[in-house]
Amino acid sequence: MNIIETKAVGKIILNETTPDREVRREHYWIPYYQRGYRWSENHVEALLEDIHNFIQSNEPKYCLQPIVLVPNVDENNHRIWEVLDGQQRLITMKLIFQYLNKPSYEIIFDKRTKSTSFLRELNKDNYSDENPDFHYLSDAYRIIKKWFDEKTKNDIGYIDEFNTTLTKKVEVIWYQIEELEQLDLKERDGIIESKKIDIFNRLNIGKIPLSDAELVRALLLSKLKHEVSEREAILRQAEMSNEWHRIEMELRNPAFWYFLNNTNLNESSSTIEFIFKLIAKSSDKKYSTYLWIEKKIKSEETGIEKHNTLKFWTKTKDYFSKLKYWFEDDQLFHQIGFLLANSKEPITTLKKIIKDSNCTKTEFRSYIAAKVKEAVSHIELDKLSYENNKEDLKTILLLHNIQSAYLDKRNVGNRFPFNLYKKIEKKGGWSIEHIHAQESIEIKAQKAIKKWLDDTYDSIKDISEIEKTIVKTNSEGERIEETKVLSCETIISDVKELKGKEVINIEVFNVLKNKVIDLFDSESVHILDNLALLSVNDNSALNNAIFPVKRKRILNLLQEGKYVPQTTRNVFLKAYSITDLQPYYWSKADKRNYFNDIKVKLSEFLTQKAINNE
């Protein structure tokens, strides 16, 4: 079983189990299938600067990335570590120790004995460019010397401080692959050798680093051996591996993953790592999740509590079970999903929800509903405007879509697709689309003008007349609605004529454009009843388009299999006005019905003041 732990750099040079050799130091062997040392000036200086910055900080420890090793033996039957990953860091640290004139480990290159000798004896007086190994090793030593010359110019004690910090306070993640251990380097088993090369390739080709989850897995499985009997450890390890696989697979369901998460599922090498991040008090620093878990388990090993690995794994399963229950419960799925989708820091929000979930199911449902109310408590629907309240509008339109899916009892199993919503959020985001066009935006480019005319003509050419509600003010100052039937023939003819011209006068076009918009207008362009959610990419193609053009484009998007939010579909399919026979006109009645649908579906979360629209 693999072993994983953090070790101070001093302990990878010399420790209690280091074999007795003429010079008692640990030996690291670089196998033939690895390329030589190739770190550039940027890599070497980055390592030195990281350690220097750590010295200046108040942090107790600093952790380097993992080194992956297989225990083996040399020709004298002394232990030697075969390096599968971490060669570049190990060699750079050896060069640092060499420059500092401090004790270090040995590096041995398989089949490259000259490189082994050159590295051991390298100093400022014997640089060489004889071969690539010599060149890069010499170059790294030059960089190290130059860097320390600068740092010690006015500080004679810096070298000792640096060495003490590097050996005592800087740690590496030590990943020891025991199942590939051999007894004789010269008598390699082909299968084992192939596995080593596979591991090396996975870690190095494409620069795929070990993930926190892989490190945690190795940690848990190796720690089990020290907490239970050998027989129980075998059973527990098998059980844990099966449970781990099941959790990984279930979280790979896009509907489950994106309900909880904003990160791209395809970029996640391990989904269970998400649960570890929820449990751990970690940061954005690499491997902070693993280091927190390792510290947690180690810190309790010497205490009163026992079986800490099993306790941590039980906690992991409990977290997963809780998340799965929320996912499978329609009400919690939609309400928690809204809170996470609407949050600027979803993982922090989810941690808070988990922390507050230790109550009865009834109390928890009330708590979640109260959190949704809290998210929209400051919003008054009739005061929302496109110019001043874009974030609040997006919140309301998102919640309206979620509630529409949840409350649609006609379609059993109908759920809001957080996976589709969040994928678009990552690819370009969501914008607030004007259902009816904005008149004030002027178009000047000939190509854009021609497209507007073509799209508009194609959408209105078969419309002979529209029935439009006109609002007038009588002599007593009262607003009166009057229904009129307006002919479209003249304006269609004007559009057709203008689009046929080779060069179109910009001023003439914009006057005609505004006439077309005015014909299909129904007032109140910038408030909630004229706004809907649409992806940024799709919205950019619809700016200045009148309702019939937008409707046709939405239908095309649906035919292409694109995701269009449910309430946006309903708007352009005229679903809020069942008896309306005008599919090409967003009428005052449509607006009223749409706004009322928002009020009704969100009524349980909005205050009475928020839904008044008198």
pLDDT in tens, 570-595: 998 888 887 656 677 787 778 889 99
**Contact between 276 and 213 (Cβ < 8 Å):** yes
pLDDT band at 180 (very low <50, low <70, confident <90, very high): low
CB count in 10 Å sphere of residue 303: 8
Res 517: pLDDT: 79
Length reported for the chain: 614
- What does the pLDDT average to over 269-293? 87
- Tokens 């409350």, located at residue: 407
CA–CA separation, 45 and 147 (whole Å): 8
- What does the pLDDT average to over 376-394? 92
- Tokens 């507050």, located at residue: 356
Check residues 270 and 97 and name the one with the higher pLDDT: 97
**Contact between 520 and 547 (Cβ < 8 Å):** yes
CA–CA separation, 461 and 452 (whole Å): 14
Global pTM value: 0.75
- Cα–Cα distance list, 265 to 249, 252, 259, 269, 420 (Å): 12, 7, 12, 8, 12
CA–CA separation, 467 and 459 (whole Å): 17
DSSP label at 584? T
What is the token pair recorded at 546? 């009148």
Res 179: pLDDT: 62
- What does the pLDDT average to over 142-154? 95
- What does the pLDDT average to over 538-552? 76
- What does the pLDDT average to over 376-380? 93
Res 394: pLDDT: 96
Range among 39-43, 498-502, 511-515 rated most confident: 39-43
Spell out the residues 6+ positions from residue 331 whose beta carbon is closer than 8 angstroms to its own: 365, 406
- What does the pLDDT average to over 142-156? 94
Q: Are strands 3-8 and 170-176 parallel, antiparallel or unpaired?
A: antiparallel
What is the token pair recorded at 341? 């989708």
pLDDT band at 36 (very low <50, low <70, confident <90, very high): confident
